[in-house]
Amino acid sequence: MAAKGDMFYAWAADAACQERGECGGAVTALLTYALRSGMVDAVLAVKRGQDIYDAVPTLVTDPEEMAETAGSLHCGTLLLSKLLKKYLDGVENMRIGITVKGCDAMGLYELAKRNQVNLDNVLMIGVNCGGSVSPVTARKMIREKFGVDPDDVVKEEIDKGQFIIQTKDGQHKGISMDELEDEGYGRRPNCRRCKMKVPRQADLACGNWGVIGDKAGKATFVEVCSEKGANLFDSAAKAGAIVTEPANPKGVEIRGKVETSMLKLGDKWRNRYFEGLGEGKDRLKKIMDETGRCIKCYACIENCPICYCVECSTKKPYLVEPGRVPPPFMFHLIRYAHIADSCINCGQCEEHCAMDIPNSLYMHALQVEMEKMFGHTPGVNMELPVLALVEEKSERDRLAATGSDQIFDIFK
C-alpha cells in the first residue's frame, strides 16, 4: 500500500500511452483509469491545438479521448483553476480529475477557501513545473535565437536547463535557459519568480526530476501527497493501468537537489525583479506611470483566479469614476487591496493585459511584502488570507481611537 510521502517511478502499461506521454505516460494512464473506473466523472487536462504554441484546456468524459491530452506543452500559459469555478459550477455536482501545475493547484486552493470550488470532488494530479514560455516569446526566440522558422517546430521540451526544439526534418537544437533569459527570452517573468516547483498540495506530484538510469525519459517520478492520491495510485497499479517500482534512492537525492536549486533560482529572480521596482514612493510612481497605459479592458480581473465577484468594486461609480481611460489609479488600488495577500503569482493578469502592463510583478511584490509582515503564504493550504481575519468592529474601534486610516504602510 502506498502512503503519503512514498516515492515511485511509474509508467503507463499501455505501449501507445507510454509513447504519447511526456515521460512514459503515467499521468495520462492514471487519469484514464480514474475516468474508466468511475472514480471521476470527467477529466480536465490540456491538449495541443493548432500547433505547439497552442495549449487548449479540454474536458474529457470518454476514456478513449484521453490520449489527446498526453504530453507537456511548455508554451501554453494557461491557468486551469478558474475554469472549474466558471464553467463547472465549482465542481459541486460532479467529480473531476485534473492535471495541475503549481499555479493551477494554488489557484484551486484560493478558490476553495472562498467556497468557490469544492475540493472534495477534485482529484489533482500535480506536475512539477520549471516554467512555461509565452507563445509570442517562444516564436520570437525560435526565430531569432535558434534561426528556425517557428512553424517548422514539431516538439519542444525543457531538459537539463536547456530549451530544446525538434524540427519537421528530425533535427534537435538546444540552448541554455540561462543564456536565453539573460537576453530577454525564455520563461515568463512570473515563472522565473515562482517557487512552487513540486505541487505537493495535489494528490500526487509527478515529474521527470530524479528519474535516472534506464528509466530516464521513460518513467515519471511520483510523490504520493494524500490518501486520495495513494488510493488512485494503488488501484491503478492493481488494475494494470500503470507499472511501478520504488524510486531509486540516488534519484530521490538528485530530485531534492534540483528542487533546492530551482528555489534558489526563484529567489534570485525575485530579488532582481523586486529591486528593479525600487522602494517606497519610487515604486509607487513606477506603478502609477506604467498603469497609466491601462485601457480598462478588465482582462486582468477576468483572468485572475481570485477575482470572481459578481459586483466588482472597480465598476462602482463612487469608487472608480466611469468613462475615463486610463481609469483613475483607484481602479488598480482596489485590486491591490483585494488580491495582494492572496496573489499566487500565476501571471494571468500580465499575460492577458492588452497594454503589456506587468501587473503580476506589482501584485507579487506586494504579496511577498505582506507574507513577510503577516506570515501567510497563499495557495499552499486552506489557511485563510489576512483580510479574512480582520475583525471589522475591532478595526473600526482602532481607527476611531487612533484617527489612522492605515492598516499597513507599504508605500512608506
Confirm or reject binding of residue 153 to ligand FAD (CB under 6 A).
no
Q: Does 194 bind ligand FAD (CB under 6 A)?
A: no
Phi, psi (degrees; rounded to nearest 5) at 206? -120, 145
User: Among residues 122, 212, 339, 366, which is the contact residue for ligand SF4, using CB under 6 A?
Assistant: 339
Backbone angles phi, psi at 14, to 5 degrees: -75, 125
Which residues on adjacent β-strands are paired with residue 99? Answer: 125
Residue 102 in the binding site for ligand FAD (CB under 6 A): no
Q: In DSSP terms, which residues pair with 124 in a beta bridge?
A: 98
Task: Based on the shown chain and the rule CB under 6 A, indicate whether residue 306 belongs to the binding site for ligand SF4.
Answer: yes
Contact (Cβ atoms closer than 8 angstroms) between residue 309 and residue 344: no
Give 45 or 230: the residue with its C-beta nearer to ligand FAD. Answer: 45
Residue of 8, 24, 67, 150 interacting with ligand FAD (CB under 6 A): 24
Query: Where does this chain touch ligand FAD (CB under 6 A) — which range of 203-211, 235-243, 354-362, 394-402?
Result: 203-211
**Binding window for ligand FAD (CB under 6 A); candidates: 20-28, 308-316, 346-354, 400-408:** 20-28
Q: Are 60 and 66 in contact (CB under 8 A)?
A: yes
Site for ligand SF4 in 133-172 (CB under 6 A): none
String of DSSP letters for 239-274:
TTSEEEEEPPHHHHHHHHHHHHHHHHHHHHHHHHHH
CA distance linking residue 343 with residue 112, whole number of Å: 14
Helix (H) or strand (E) holding 364: helix 359-374
Burial (0-12, 13-18, 19+ Cβ within 10 Å), 382: exposed
Given CA atoms 120, 125, 129, 135 in this order, what sign does their dihedral have? negative
Residue 81 site contact among ligand SF4, ligand FAD, none (CB < 5 to 8 Å, cut-off depends on kind): none
Lookup result for grid cell 491545438 = 49
CA angle 247, 249, 251 (to 5 degrees): 70
Q: Is 117 in the site for ligand SF4 (CB under 6 A)?
A: no
Distance CA 11, CA 245 (A): 9
Q: Between residues 12 and 207, which has the closer beta carbon with respect to ligand SF4?
A: 207
Q: Which amino acid is at 64?
A: E
99 part of the interface to ligand FAD, by CB under 6 A:
yes
Judged by DSSP in three states, 174 sits in: strand
Q: Judged by CB under 6 A, which of 14, 22, 341, 351 binds ligand FAD? A: 22
106 interacts with ligand FAD by CB under 6 A: no
Closest contact distance (angstroms) between CB of 157 and ligand FAD is: 8
Site residue total, ligand FAD (CB under 6 A) = 31
Among residues 2, 112, 122, 127, which is the contact residue for ligand FAD, using CB under 6 A? 127
**SS3 helix, strand, coil % of the chain, rounded to 5?**
45, 15, 40
Interface residue with ligand SF4 among 298, 319, 330, 383 (CB under 6 A) is 298
Inter-residue contact 320 to 329 (CB < 8 Å): no
191 binds, among ligand FAD, ligand SF4, none (CB under 5 to 8 A by kind): ligand SF4
In the complex, what is the shortest distance from the CB of residue 352 to ligand SF4, in angstroms, rounded to a whole number?
A: 6
347 binds ligand SF4 (CB under 6 A): yes
Q: Does 346 contact ligand SF4 by CB under 6 A?
A: yes
Grid cell of 373 as nine digits = 509582515
Site for ligand SF4, rule CB under 6 A: 101-103, 129, 131-132, 190-191, 194, 196, 294-301, 303-307, 309, 312-314, 334-335, 338-339, 343-349, 353-355, 357, 359-360, 363
Site for ligand FAD, rule CB under 6 A: 21-28, 45-46, 55, 69-74, 76, 78, 99, 101, 127-130, 132, 206-209, 220
